[in-house]
Chain A
Amino acid sequence: GENVEQHPSTLSVQEGDSAVIKCTYSDSASNYFPWYKQELGKRPQLIIDIRSNVGEKKDQRIAVTLNKTAKHFSLHITETQPEDSAVYFCAAAYGQNFVFGPGTRLSVLP
């Protein structure tokens, strides 16, 4: 089955700097790659997603890149703000089958 790895597990950046989180997946059938932000004790919220027919997608300060050949995708957050502090999960999905990465705890230091 699908296996999703995510790095780093923790990341601390200064406010205003960029943050990059990387994920790899194993199943070439996966064709949908969402990223979720989860604040403590709350539900995961979709922040951006990308499909396998696209290499890059951007939404304001957030961007995601996908390399299908290498089976990896990355989340890029620019001009980080303290409210970006949370746990971020990547996922690889095929149909309704979602497999989540282990998560990255991002801390943005003021």
Chain B
Amino acid sequence: GAVVSQHPSWVICKSGTSVKIECRSLDFQATTMFWYRQFPKQSLMLMATSNEGSKATYEQGVEKDKFLINHASLTLSTLTVTSAHPEDSSFYICSALPGGTEAFFGQGTRLTVV
């Protein structure tokens, strides 16, 4: 199946700093990618839809100025958590749908803000 690669797999940062997470489609082009957040023992909650060459679409309650999304090419979307705080600690996962229906997920990034 299609491959979605996410980097880094884990990151620890200090409160107040910014962290960038990359999501790459390795064997297909993705005009749209999706960013999810998953708290421990909870489901995947859609944060935003990343659109190549245009602004991301954010879900209600997600601060667009805090979670910056850039989708500058057909194979790369980045999520930057700005001025991170401990409450931002979570598992962030991206996904893409190369065939339009089946979703393929990145490995996920475990962010810990100390």
Interface size on B, residues (CB 8 A): 22
Are A42 and B107 in contact (CB-based, < 8 A)?
yes
Known contacts being A42-B107, A43-B93, A43-B108, is A103 close to B101, with CB within 8 Å? Answer: no
Are B43 and A102 in contact (CB-based, < 8 A)?
yes
Are B100 and A96 in contact (CB-based, < 8 A)?
yes
Are A103 and B42 in contact (CB-based, < 8 A)?
yes
Are A96 and B46 in contact (CB-based, < 8 A)?
no
Are A43 and B105 in contact (CB-based, < 8 A)?
yes
Shortest CB distance B111–A (Å): 13
Are B43 and A89 in contact (CB-based, < 8 A)?
yes
Are B103 and A98 in contact (CB-based, < 8 A)?
yes
- Interface 1/0 per residue, B59-73 and A, CB below 8 Å: 000000000000000
Is the contact region of chain A dominated by helix, strand, or loop, or is it mixed? strand
Is the contact region of chain B dominated by helix, strand, or loop, or is it mixed? loop
| Chain A residues with CB under 8 A of B100 | 95-96
- Interface 1/0 per residue, A82-106 and B, CB below 8 Å: 0000000101010110111111010
A41 part of interface (Cβ distance < 8 Å): yes
Q: With the chains together, A93 CA to B34 CA distance in Å?
A: 14
- Residue pairs across A and B with Cβ atoms less than 8 A apart, 27 shown, are A34-B103, A41-B91, A41-B108, A42-B108, A43-B93, A43-B106, A43-B108, A44-B93, A44-B105, A45-B105, A46-B102, A46-B104, A49-B101, A49-B102, A89-B44, A91-B103, A93-B101, A96-B49, A96-B100, A98-B34, A98-B46, A98-B103, A100-B43, A100-B44, A102-B42, A102-B43, A103-B43
List residues of A whose CB falls within 8 A of some B CB: 32, 34, 41-46, 49, 89, 91, 93, 95-96, 98-103, 105
